[in-house]
Structure 1
Amino acid sequence: MRCMETFIIRQVSTFLVNKLISAFLDFFNKSLKKVNELSNIQDNIKKINLIRSDFLMSNLLNSLP
Structure 2
Amino acid sequence: GFQVQLDLTGIFMHGKIPTLKISLIQIFRAHLWQKIHESVVMDLCQVFDQELDALEIDNVQKETIH
Q: Which has the larger radius of gyration?
A: 1
Q: Same fold (TM over 0.5)?
A: no
Indicate the structure whose relative CO is greater, using CA pairs within 8 Å and at least 6 residues apart: 2
The structure carrying a bigger helix percent of its residues is 1
> TM range, normalised to the smaller chain?
0.3 to 0.5
With structure 1 as the length reference, what TM-score do the two structures score?
0.38
The structure carrying a bigger strand percent of its residues is 2
With structure 2 as the length reference, what TM-score do the two structures score?
0.38
